[in-house]
Amino acid sequence: MTGVFNDSYAATYDTVYAEKNYAAECKAVAKLITKFGRGHIRKMLDLGCGTGRHAVIFAGEGFDVTGVDQSEPMVERARDRATQMKLGANPEFLSGDIRNFSGKSPFDVAVMNFNVIGYMTGNEDALGALGAARKNLRQNGLLIADFWYGPAVVVDPPGENTREFETGDMRVVRSSSGLHLPDSQCCEITVKVTRLQGDRVLDEAPETHRVRYFFPLELELMLRVSGFQLMVLTGFPDVDAPASPRKWAAAMVAIAV
C-alpha cells in the first residue's frame, strides 16, 4: 500500500461511501453477537475504525466502544463525528496499529469492519492483528470480521468501476481498477478520487490498496494459532446465509479460548 488513507483521501472518504449501508452492517454484526456471544457483552473494540461510522452506531445502541486506526486523519474525523452526534456515551477513538494495540482492560467483543483484515496482506501482519485482538479480549470474547472470500474472488476477479457523487457545489469522482495477484492471494486496487467544481479539478487523491482474500482452511488455522476457535463463516451482511463462492463479502465469527 502506498499513501493509503492520507489527508486528501480521508477528506472525501465519507462522501465516496455515503451510500454504504453502515446501519445494516451493524445490525448484521449485532445479530452475530446475540447468536454467539457468551455472557454480558458491552465493551467493544473496533479495530480499524476509520471515520467511526460503525462505532457511533454501536455506541448509540449502548455499547462502550473503543475505536483504533493508524490513520490520524481518519481518527480525527471519527472524534468530530462522535462529538457532533452528542451521544449519551461517546466512543473513544485512538490512533494506533491494530497489530500491537493494547487496551486498558479486556473487551467483550472485537470487530474488524469493512474488510480491515484484508489489509493485513502478509501472514505476520494477519497473525499480528488476530493475536492483538485475542490479547484484548476476555475468555470467551468474540471476534467478528468481514472479509473477501477467496473462492468468490478466484471465480470472479476484480475489474474496473467508476462512480460519481455530488456534495454541495462539488462533484466527487471515484474510479477504481483491480489487478488480481493470485500468487500473493491479493488484489491490487488502484483508486483515484477526484474533486471537481464545474469543470475545474480541485484535487486528486490517488491510492493503491493491496488487499488480501482468505480461504476457509487458512482462516481456521490462523485463528487457532492466535487463540481462537472459528465458530462460523457467513455471508455479509446477510449473516443468515453461508459464505458463498458467488459473493466476495463474507464474515467470520470466532471465540477466544
pLDDT digits (tens, 9 = 90+) for 73-99: 999 999 999 999 988 788 999 999 999
How far is the C-alpha of 169 from the C-alpha of 198, rounded, in Å?
Answer: 8
| β-sheet bridge partners, residue 45 | 66, 110
pLDDT given at position 3: 46
The stretch 133-144 carries a mean pLDDT of 98
Q: In terms of domains, do 61 and 95 share one?
A: yes
Residue 2 has pLDDT above 60, yes or no: no
Residue 147 above 70 pLDDT? yes
Residue 2 DSSP one-character state: B
Residue 236 domain-assigned (yes or no)? yes
Query: Torsions phi, psi of 204, nearest 5?
Result: -130, 140
- Domain hosting 31: range is 18-150+214-256
200/124 same-domain check: no
Q: How many domains does the chain have?
A: 2
**Residue 145 and residue 166 share a domain:** no
Mean pLDDT, rounded, for 140-164: 95
pLDDT digits (tens, 9 = 90+) for 93-120: 999 999 999 998 899 999 999 999 999 9
Whether residue 139 is found in the same domain as residue 160: no
At 188, which CATH number?
2.20.130.10
Query: Average pLDDT for residues 36-60, to the nearest whole number?
Result: 97
For 181-214, what is each residue's pLDDT tens digit?
999 999 999 988 888 998 899 888 778 899 999 9
| Predicted local distance difference test score (pLDDT) of residue 199 | 86
* Closest listed residue to residue 142, CA positions, set 18, 32, 28: 32
Determine the residue type at 22.
Y
Residue 162 has pLDDT above 60, yes or no: yes
pLDDT at 13: 67
